[in-house]
Structure 1
Amino acid sequence: MIKDPLYLYKYLPAQDYSLKVISEGLIKFSSCLELNDPFEALPIVEVGPFHKFKEEVVVRRFSESSDFMFQRYITASLAVHNGNWARSFQDKAGVLCLTRNEKSGLMWSHYASDHKGIVICLAFDRPMTVCGLELFPQVVKYPSKRPAVNFWGPGEVDKWLLTKSCSWQYEEEERVIIPGFPGIHSYDRSVHLHSVILGSRITPEYKAKVNSAVDKAQVDMLRQIPIFEAKLSSSDYSIHILKLNNKRS
């Protein structure tokens, strides 16, 4: 267990399925094909010249004729060139996208229904157990150049799933990655669910639904879940996060 928890945030739209993160402990791990960046899990893949390809085949003790080996090389080169080889890996992992920044106006707009949705604060003082696996958040890097991987090289998870263009660095993203299991999974709310933030434009109807979801979670977990609200600054373009009184409205 980590002495000081890491707090990360999940922006969610004003939809009923978002409430299940609170009320039922269900959260989505998306495949890369579902994410909004078309470069997700698309590093530059280097096949290299045929003689290097042939050496790798020999090292791996594949028993193939030279003609068949050259056919395999051409097939691999074409698959890399047209993106099919990389795309075959894009649905092989589930990605929970989180951020260190709960005050981003852009992310409130893009991921939380134009400030009408919510943000869930998750605490990590221990791994998140999903499908029997213990998973920790990993920091996303934002280099100026697209990463390159070797066709025969070992799986470089950071270049496939933890690297994005520098144009995305405002998201300050960290990811929990589960190999082979994209989809909706349960997580332990009693360990990770810390608090809820209401968007500055949340409707009374959706706010009431959030309150009901929080009430259910508090009964299930036998503890309080603080509720905050996002407020627009009166003097600049910043967003303030304020704790609500115990008496809700």
Structure 2
Amino acid sequence: MAGIKILENCTIRVTPPNQFNDPFEFASYGTGIIDRGHIISLIEDEQLLLERYKLIAKDSGMSLEQYREDQATLLSDNGRLQQEIATATQLYMEWAAHFVDQVSHNAGVVCLTEDDTSILMWSHYASNHEGLMIGLDVDRLPYLKLFNVEYTTEHQLPIDLSRVHLMEYLQEQYVAIMRRKFSVWGYEKEYRMQFHFSVCEQIPAIGMWFYRFDPEVVRSVTIGMKCKIEDREHVLSLLAEPRFAHVQVKEAVKDKTEYQVRYKEVRPASAI
């Protein structure tokens, strides 16, 4: 059972966006032409000039001073500047079209829910009520971003490349794309945590990333109403370990008259 593995190893899977099961997620496309002023500001930025020199011009034998003069000439050559704008626009268009692959190189996502009483969530994500629901103290985790998902019927998010303050705008759109999901998934009431892979561990044999957390991150464990006896005993044995002494333990039960999941306490929470 996946929930038992989480408790045994104190690890949680961090999934690259391009490995999500819904291929319609993280979709975007670029529109417009990059603002002339934005390109000029990039060319005039000394730090960016040094980075471009290392990536592009250094291998050509051009000295840094020669490259600096070349870039200054570019600013006064309207034809070259227009070509630079066209090239940059095309690059940003490709970035927008392949957003999901771009963000999957360095970071992954952990998906959570704010709804701890959903029959659908128990059915879909806890092995038909045989699994566990684990409550986490997310404030103890080193995530890059934490955001609630916005559900929509609009498939792809347009990215307007003509914005004057393009870099700030792209940061806003980055979050907007990461938190969008088709409205049919609304029952999940999902939250997403984004982790940089530098704080994660990869298991090459299975191609998966995991974040290893401290036991104090676990706040509660709820055992599914159809959990197998041997799994229930295993879970209770794990939670009896000193590292989980603070964890509240509950069991899910069916309401006798309504479509509701109820919980009975097996062990109360205690202070860490």
Answer yes or no: same fold by TM over 0.5.
yes
Residue of structure 1 aligned with 2:259, choices 237, 241, 245 = 237
1:186 and 2:212 are equivalent in the alignment: yes
| TM superposition shift of 1:39 | 2.9
**Partner of 2:108 in structure 1?**
94
Matched, 1:138 2:147: yes
Hey, what's the Cα distance between the residues in 2 that align with 1:91 and 1:67? 29
Unaligned runs of 5+ residues in structure 1 are 1-13
In the alignment, the residues of structure 2 paired with residue 116 and residue 30 of structure 1 have an alpha-carbon distance, to the nearest angstrom, of 23
| Aligned residue pair count | 217
Deviation of 1:107 after TM superposition, in Å, equals 1.3
* Residues 92 and 39 of structure 1: CA distance in aligned 2, closer, same or farther (over 3 Å): farther
Matches within 5 A, 1:166-181: 166-181=183-198
Separation in structure 1 between the aligned mates of residue 243 and residue 11 of structure 2, nearest angstrom: 14
Kindly state the Cα deviation for residue 177 of structure 1 after the two structures are TM-superposed.
1.7
CA distance in 2, matches of 1:68, 1:114: 56
TM-score (structure 1 length as normaliser)? 0.72
Q: Which amino acid aligns with 1:159?
A: A
Name 2:140's counterpart in structure 1. Answer: 128
What is the alpha-carbon distance in structure 1 between the residues aligned to residue 22 and residue 224 of structure 2?
A: 24
**Which one of the candidate residues 20, 29, 34 is aligned to 1:45?**
29
Question: Are the structure 2 counterparts of residues 230 and 136 from structure 1 closer, same or farther at C-alpha, using a change threshold of 3 Å?
Answer: farther
Task: Give me the whole-angstrom Cα distance separating, in 1, the residues matched to 2:91 and 2:195.
Answer: 30
Tell me if 1:148 matches 2:174. Answer: no
Answer whether contact 2:30 2:160 (CA < 8 A) is retained. yes
Which structure 2 residue ranges, 5 or more long, are not aligned? 44-48, 50-70, 75-79, 201-208
Q: Is the 8 A contact 1:116 1:200 kept in 2?
A: yes
1:76 offset after TM fit, Å? 5.0
Give, in angstroms, the shift of residue 118 of structure 1. 0.6
TM-score normalised by length of structure 2:
0.67
Whichever of the two has the greater Rg, that structure is 2
- Change in Cα spacing, 1:29 to 1:128, as seen in structure 2 (3 Å) is farther
Match of 1:203 in 2: 228
Matched to 1:115, the amino acid is H
Q: Percent identity of the aligned residues?
A: 22
Q: Check the 8 A contact 1:23/1:214 in 2, yes or no.
A: no
